[in-house]
Structure 1
């Protein structure tokens, strides 16, 4: 398989064994006429355009556009399968001009904008091919201006043509014998599309000058026996489609669509009036006629159309006269769907008698459907949709006389939308069987409708939206006289009812409801029904045994949800209904009902066993949720809401109590309670059961005191009108609480205030988790002395965005995790002094269980632990992260640092005032300043990150941190005052000593402008595991020696050096004598490191050569990435002999090295390279940029083979003579360009050799379309 784009076409002829080709070329690059591929089996070629990706597997594809010469492809035309010709000029025929052999293997032909084309085939010439187009299956003709002879194909047989698309033909054949002959040849045609042919008057012309051109004997020849689909659109002059003689020749026609043909009068037409056979289209299933303004009839008036298989008829804006389509016969069992838009219904009466699915859009000239359109009552109809009509007033009018009792009897679904004139479904008495099977009724935007539907037994779903005059939904009285015949109760199958934007609605059900049951109703949603006063009578409410969801909003006149109706004579006003009321109700939402006074009456709704979510909002007259009758005092009674989880009470300004005064609320499952703006609420008693977890969001905690006594999980969101929780909310101390979250409070100042008097010593004694967020008024946890048991079990403490908090927490023994983030006034985290008097009773040290501490954005923090730390131990602390604490001067005293035996990770950043990480404190009186601590310091520390600490001078003191046994990763950056990492006291000279970092693998030093040494002068760094070393912008660094054991190999794998100034020496030493890295005033960068994998040399201004001895062959067998950038004095990268010793190099980037002349330097007097070809088998990315002195990438006399190269970038290398080429195996070669190649520029194309690319500018990516390199030529 060979894939070429803009290839060197002159060389393709030499590829005699080529079997597959994908190619895009321009006209200027086209093949020569002797271009042949003797063994080519498959190809996909695009000329002046993109290649085509076929949906089906096609082996030979040719697409040509904007060309006048096709001779270059004459050898391919013999076996091409898919041919596309666009804007091909100077060709009058396809056969023989394009191909004299007849394109007999062609299966698909597309002709677009070929204005010079006069015909497909010229059969007037001698020796015309008999097999021309013999395999053609698809023919597309688009935007062609044709003459009369265009499709003159005498004796031509399209034996396999299955689909034809003819689009935007500007002129069409006018001679009758042309079209009729063509029709006789298309015997295999299955699909025909014609669009935008504005001059087309007849698809097939039957007669010319009034005389028939096909005799009765030959009429059997005029047929398309396999045609299934016909689509004709936007043909402005089309008058008819078929001659009547073709009526019996379409036995398989299934679909006809004729759209936007304003002059069309008939589908079938005859030249003169005669009587013949009726028109039979036995398989026609779908008929669509749209925007046919002059349409008169489907066929001549003397013919009868038989459509036994028709299932769908769609008509829109067709100019039918009255009764014009009455001569239709449609099989009753199959006829199913019809869509009529802006069509006179009188013209299509016969079509509607047996229809099952009917959509009428824009009904005209009718006030009713029955009897005007169908006196029989459209009783076969299952689905009816009425849309956008202004004249229709009702579906049925029984005031005009007898109407069938089965009117709409089988209708299952009725949709009515935008029927602005419709007032009711039935004008007059309902027929006996009217809508008896209706299951779904949808009515939208019918602005004149007054009443809707009778209460039907089988109705399941009702949706009524935006009917501004509707006064009643269900009419019940009219059906009472037939109740004996009804086997079930009315509305007994109703499951869903949605009423929305009905401003005049007075009744949902009008009439006595004694024969109505809502036993199946599950979902009710009522909104914006301002005149509705009530929803259910007690008898209807009693039947709501399946109701799951009730939503009511913006009903301004609603007084009661359930009330006694004067005409509800089946239920007495004082009747006690079934004890389990609304047994399946789960969700209740009531909002914006301004005169609603209560929701339920007791004992009517004393138990709601399944209610889970209950929201009441913005109902200013609501006084009680559960209202008790006056004679019932409610003593020792409770409202049972056993499943209630979520209760919301918002903006209920007159709500005084949730239930009658002596009633309790039994709600053991309550998890979330929100109470907002209920200023009169004074009685909210939840019975003491198992109320363990609750989230409370309220501005009135005083009303919820009883609720909070025994709660275990509590969330308070938006606390108002309280300065403390204890004693104001609960004097007993909330001592059952284990989880507490406080959010978004402005007035709460502390959790507990002991200054007001006696407070329980057990306040918050069982609290385990405390989360505080956005408490902008909170200043401290405790105002006054800490109670004895205060927070003794607390394990997790998190405070966020508490901008007034100054003090946080006592140092607690059980505390495990502390996170304090963005508390702008916090000065200290842990207060220790207050607990010293109880140390004898405490079995363990303070903070001894603390494992995680995160302090962030605390600009006023001065102390992490304030007070003596002699009773504090950080023995469990593993993770510490401190950032943006600008006033913090130190972290740990030596005694605390000594206790950090489990610390694994320490991260410090953006602490502007930090002077020391570990320092002596005056109050640390049990540790003398000269005490020698344990030799194994921070024994578990693995990760240390320090960044942006501008006044930090050192990290550790020796001998305090002379050994860090587990440290693996050590990063220090952006600390301009840091002078030493390990600092030695003045009395210690450090002779023959080392800093032991046995596990260190990753060391990074960045932007440390005053760092002079890693440790004191005579100290070495023992780091046998170091793999990654980065030193960036440390201009004063003069001593950095990593000690190695004797005979131990250097393991360094990644090295980054940048901006190291004029006198810097980095040494990786074995006995300090060999294998070193030296940068600065030295010209050499470093000696040999065989294990190094990634090497980055950036902005090393003094380096002239990298390797110490350029005569030595450098072996870098593991090097994969090399970047050398802005080394201004660098002259070369490698000696040429090392080119063979880079077997794993994958990425090479060289940029901005102004004096670099060679990447691989050849020293003739010392180097002898036996092979002139050098391979880089792993190199994938090569970038050479801004190298004004670079002469060659590959020395003269050699060439490099880059077999794996993916990306090549060469820019601003004006002197470079190395060229890059690609061979037939797609290997890239680099070698010195010949003079004629050097003169060629890549941005300019040449007719003779436009594939030459100058190496001054190359941006090539292997997989990117349109990227190319010139072909490689073997040297003779």
Structure 2
């Protein structure tokens, strides 16, 4: 495409898209000043391109800030070292300006940098996408094949911040014992790995130690992944403990059907974690497990106490949003014993398709969630109640009133839901901030509010009931004597739809709304 006599000394951005016959970007070696100011390089849908450039050309691209390679069917490496090259074996090329690296839909991709004859080397042993330079030396001395590496002594990316790997058929991304590699990821803030069907785990404990700046971690559609962090393959049987991923703010686990746990250990602290999304991970029963053998995990041989997603081994003190979707085998979300300040700042909770859950908030846990503002519970086939208040009512200091910030509550498609609150809190819990309550397709729901909750809803603006078995909106209390009047002064939308069992005459005498 470009001859050696052509130079682009001031070119800043280069984008190659849908070039079906392109085999090389440069034919031969470009002159010394070519591409010296290139900062952005994007390649997409170039099916005949095996690599981007040679090692010699790479030395002129030291200003690169972003590399993106998408949908190149036979792309094997980014940088190919040509056979018989005269490059200094000890001279490292450091792309110190590179901040973003994106590799997507590259079915033949094996490494960022390798010799051009790498394809002829035996592929019998799986190698990581990213390895330490010392692994090359060991392989050379033992007669094993030289691993194809992403970061090696030829090409280094010491300031990489954003890394995305999508649909790449590798079994490992980094070495189990990273060694010098660990210092190359100290600035990594965002890591996205998706559609990598051969990955069984993501990190080792020693690799995680270098990710002190990681703020965003997304894992999706990795069907073979069993665990996110494993202990180092060699050495003593050490568990994950102490502070890990100290700056992590967003964590998403999605479409991981064989994931059984995040890691093994005694405590994991993510002090800055604000958002945690777990979706379609049906084998995940506990976030942090105790030491279990690989066979026991594979056969789901967990103790009953390990069937809780979060327990005292998890310390998420600043989490504000939690989404749990498609967790068919989850028995409980929270254990009654949690780390002292975990989940106390939770504002948004979304639970969907948790088909073994019997309740959302277990006994002795409710006051921990008084900062919750949005609650969505959807399509949980076994759920019978949302708030379990029985143990709370037996507390000696039941006169202490806890005011909740809950504003919007949705309960949808809950076939066995009998009550939202399983008993009347008698004023020790206040839900006076409720603005919206929406219940749909809950055929077993007999009533919506306990009497004491209904008496304290001055902010309620929208109430909607559709397709439910509700007989009365407010549950009758025998000890109340004369029926009180329940006044909703700010209600502007009051929708009752397909409620064949509703006792209209009873409710007419007891319900008053300011505007509906």
Scaled by the length of structure 2, the TM-score of the pair is 0.68
**Hey, what's the Cα distance between the residues in 1 that align with 2:494 and 2:385?**
21
Pick from 454, 457, 467 the counterpart of residue 54 of structure 2. Answer: 454
Structure 1, gaps ≥5 residues long: 1-367, 371-376, 383-408, 513-530, 565-572, 840-844, 865-886, 898-902, 908-1276
**Hey, what's the Cα distance between the residues in 1 that align with 2:256 and 2:243?**
20
- Deviation of the 1:642 alpha carbon: 3.7
Q: Which residue of 1 aligns with 2:146?
A: none
Three-state SS of the structure 1 residue aligned to 2:185 is coil
- Deviation of the 1:852 alpha carbon: 3.6
List aligned pairs for 1:696-715, cutoff 5 A: 696-698=323-325, 699=327, 700=330, 702=332, 705=335, 706=338, 710=344, 712-715=346-349
**Hey, what's the Cα distance between the residues in 1 that align with 2:240 and 2:101?**
38
**Hey, what's the Cα distance between the residues in 2 that align with 1:711 and 1:419?**
51
Structure 1's 689 and 607: CA in aligned 2 closer, same or farther, altered over 3 A?
Answer: farther
**Hey, what's the Cα distance between the residues in 2 that align with 1:583 and 1:690?**
24
Structure 2, gaps ≥5 residues long: 117-124, 134-149, 289-309
Structure 1's 475 and 426: CA in aligned 2 closer, same or farther, altered over 3 A?
Answer: same
**Hey, what's the Cα distance between the residues in 2 that align with 1:623 and 1:495?**
30
Q: Which residue of 2 aligns with 1:560?
A: 172
1:821 is the counterpart of 2:464: yes
**Hey, what's the Cα distance between the residues in 2 that align with 1:862 and 1:418?**
62
Q: Which residue of 2 aligns with 1:619?
A: 222
Whether the aligned pair in 2 keeps the contact of 1:607 and 1:640 (CA below 8 Å) is no
List aligned pairs for 1:192-211, cutoff 5 A: none
**Hey, what's the Cα distance between the residues in 2 that align with 1:642 and 1:574?**
20
List aligned pairs for 1:397-408, cutoff 5 A: none
1:582 is the counterpart of 2:177: no
- Deviation of the 1:675 alpha carbon: 3.6
**Hey, what's the Cα distance between the residues in 1 that align with 2:87 and 2:240?**
49
- Deviation of the 1:463 alpha carbon: 4.4
Scaled by the length of structure 1, the TM-score of the pair is 0.30
Whether the aligned pair in 2 keeps the contact of 1:658 and 1:683 (CA below 8 Å) is yes
Pick from 775, 795, 798 the counterpart of residue 433 of structure 2. Answer: 795
Pick from 122, 131, 139 the counterpart of residue 537 of structure 1. Answer: 131
Structure 1's 645 and 444: CA in aligned 2 closer, same or farther, altered over 3 A?
Answer: closer
Whether the aligned pair in 2 keeps the contact of 1:733 and 1:760 (CA below 8 Å) is no
Q: Which residue of 1 aligns with 2:446?
A: 806
Pick from 566, 588, 591 the counterpart of residue 194 of structure 2. Answer: 591
- Deviation of the 1:807 alpha carbon: 0.2
List aligned pairs for 1:314-463, cutoff 5 A: 377-379=4-6, 381-382=7-8, 422-424=22-24, 430=29, 433=32, 435=34, 437=36, 439=38, 441=41, 443=43, 445-455=45-55, 456-459=58-61, 460=64, 461-463=66-68
Indicate the RMSD between aligned Cα atoms, in angstroms: 4.4
Three-state SS of the structure 2 residue aligned to 1:724 is coil
Three-state SS of the structure 2 residue aligned to 1:735 is helix
1:647 is the counterpart of 2:263: no
Whether the aligned pair in 2 keeps the contact of 1:710 and 1:734 (CA below 8 Å) is no
- Deviation of the 1:598 alpha carbon: 1.4
**Hey, what's the Cα distance between the residues in 2 that align with 1:720 and 1:751?**
13
Q: Which residue of 1 aligns with 2:161?
A: 548
**Hey, what's the Cα distance between the residues in 2 that align with 1:680 and 1:811?**
38
Pick from 742, 751, 764 the counterpart of residue 386 of structure 2. Answer: 751
Query: Once structures 1 and 2 are overlaid, which stretch shifts more, 744-753 or 649-658?
Result: 744-753
1:836 is the counterpart of 2:480: yes
**Hey, what's the Cα distance between the residues in 2 that align with 1:835 and 1:797?**
28
1:775 is the counterpart of 2:378: no
Three-state SS of the structure 2 residue aligned to 1:625 is strand
List aligned pairs for 1:109-508, cutoff 5 A: 377-379=4-6, 381-382=7-8, 422-424=22-24, 430=29, 433=32, 435=34, 437=36, 439=38, 441=41, 443=43, 445-455=45-55, 456-459=58-61, 460=64, 461-476=66-81, 481-483=86-88, 489-508=93-112
Structure 1's 605 and 735: CA in aligned 2 closer, same or farther, altered over 3 A?
Answer: same
Whether the aligned pair in 2 keeps the contact of 1:724 and 1:753 (CA below 8 Å) is no
Q: Considering only CA atoms, is the larger Rg found in Structure 1 or Structure 2?
A: 1
Output one character per residue of 1:152-178: Cα deviation in whole Å (capped at 9) or x when no partner.
Answer: xxxxxxxxxxxxxxxxxxxxxxxxxxx
Q: Which residue of 1 aligns with 2:303?
A: none
Structure 1's 859 and 458: CA in aligned 2 closer, same or farther, altered over 3 A?
Answer: same
**Hey, what's the Cα distance between the residues in 2 that align with 1:634 and 1:605?**
14
**Hey, what's the Cα distance between the residues in 2 that align with 1:541 and 1:574?**
11
**Hey, what's the Cα distance between the residues in 1 that align with 2:402 and 2:485?**
17
Whether the aligned pair in 2 keeps the contact of 1:752 and 1:782 (CA below 8 Å) is yes
Q: Which residue of 2 aligns with 1:718?
A: 352
Whether the aligned pair in 2 keeps the contact of 1:639 and 1:664 (CA below 8 Å) is yes
**Hey, what's the Cα distance between the residues in 2 that align with 1:583 and 1:473?**
22
Output one character per residue of 1:1029-1088: Cα deviation in whole Å (capped at 9) or x when no partner.
Answer: xxxxxxxxxxxxxxxxxxxxxxxxxxxxxxxxxxxxxxxxxxxxxxxxxxxxxxxxxxxx
